[in-house]
């Protein structure tokens, strides 16, 4: 497990569920929320596929064992975030001549509000450029392990560092350029693959700092592979539609993470130039 100092840029909203907040009537409300998720860099298909499961009642009184596990996850997520702060705080000024300002990590259960609108846990982790915050429901890590077959602490670290990669894109102005260009599927894929590459750049320096253990990178690669558009489509509908990709194929996601990890150089993450 990645260990180190814990970041203070964590906003814990767990226990402050937004389930009582209306997001619209019936299917129209879900479609509006799915659009918000897409514009904020998330995967709306996860929301549409799992909204029924997400609307099921939850148990308010968690067993002590689950509470303890969640607190361990908080410490781990805080440590990962702190590592990204240390790494990007050094390499962004060095490689891009831009000062790094750290994002906040918002932890929530079920549903929460962001500058990008309301988001459900079914939408998965996402970054909102409007408030420069990362949003995470720990239930996604259970999904990553059980449904996507990508267990392990560093698989979770990959998820957080990918969203931090979006924050780096926001600081560089890349997200604004994509939005101005029309948010096409092709540009969305390139944006996501670049965030994967930036996650790899962070992992490169985390390894140099001795924060990685044997097998950590393999865990990240499995996670990148499992959330490839083709892998998700095969699992959910049994066939692949490349024209509908928004995040990139399993192979592409692994390749770009590897590019960043092997080089530690942001210049090797120009997905828009290829």
Lookup: tokens for 126: 């996402």
Average pLDDT across each block of 10 residues of the chain; the chain has 274 residues. List them in order: 82 70 34 46 51 43 55 92 97 97 95 89 89 94 81 87 96 93 85 95 92 81 77 69 73 92 96 84
Confidence at residue 199, expressed as pLDDT on a 0 to 100 scale: 96
Q: Annotate 103-131 with DSSP letters as a single string.
A: PEEEE-SSEEEETTEEEEGGG-SEEETTT
Confidence at residue 149, expressed as pLDDT on a 0 to 100 scale: 77
Indicate the average pLDDT of the chain: 80
Per residue in 174-192, pLDDT tens?
999 998 887 688 899 999 9
Lookup: tokens for 115: 């500058």
* Domain ranges for the chain: 10-54+65-273
- For residues 272 and 213, the answer to whether their CB atoms sit within 8 Å is no
Distances (CA, A) of 253 to 31, 151, 180: 27, 17, 24
At 98 the three-state DSSP class reads coil
């Amino acid at each position: 497990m990645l260990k180190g100092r814990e970041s203070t840029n964590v906003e814990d909203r767990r226990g402050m569920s937004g389930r009582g907040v209306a997001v619209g009537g019936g299917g129209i409300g879900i479609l509006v929320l799915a659009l918000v998720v897409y514009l904020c860099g998330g995967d709306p298909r996860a929301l549409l596929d799992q909204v029924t499961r997400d609307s099921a009642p939850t148990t308010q009184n968690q067993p002590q064992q689950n509470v303890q596990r969640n607190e361990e996850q908080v410490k781990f997520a805080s440590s990962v975030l702190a590592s990204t702060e240390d790494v990007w705080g050094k390499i962004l000024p060095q490689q891009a001549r831009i000062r790094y300002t750290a994002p906040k990590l918002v932890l929530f259960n079920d549903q929460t509000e962001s500058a990008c609108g309301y988001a459900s846990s079914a939408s998965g982790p996402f970054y909102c450029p409007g408030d420069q915050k990362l949003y995470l429901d720990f239930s996604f890590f259970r999904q990553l392990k059980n449904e996507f077959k990508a267990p392990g602490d560093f698989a979770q670290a990959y998820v957080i560092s990918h969203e931090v990669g979006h924050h780096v894109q926001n600081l560089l102005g890349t997200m604004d350029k994509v939005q101005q260009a029309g948010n096409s599927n092709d540009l969305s894929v390139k944006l996501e693959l670049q965030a994967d590459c930036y996650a790899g750049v962070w992992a490169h320096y985390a390894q140099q700092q001795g924060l990685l253990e044997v097998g950590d990178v393999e865990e990240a690669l499995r996670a990148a592979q499992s959330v490839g558009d083709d892998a998700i489509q095969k699992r959910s509908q049994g066939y692949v539609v490349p024209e509908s990709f928004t995040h990139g194929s399993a192979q592409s996601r692994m390749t770009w993470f590897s590019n960043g990890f092997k080089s530690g150089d942001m210049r090797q993450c120009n997905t828009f130039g290829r």
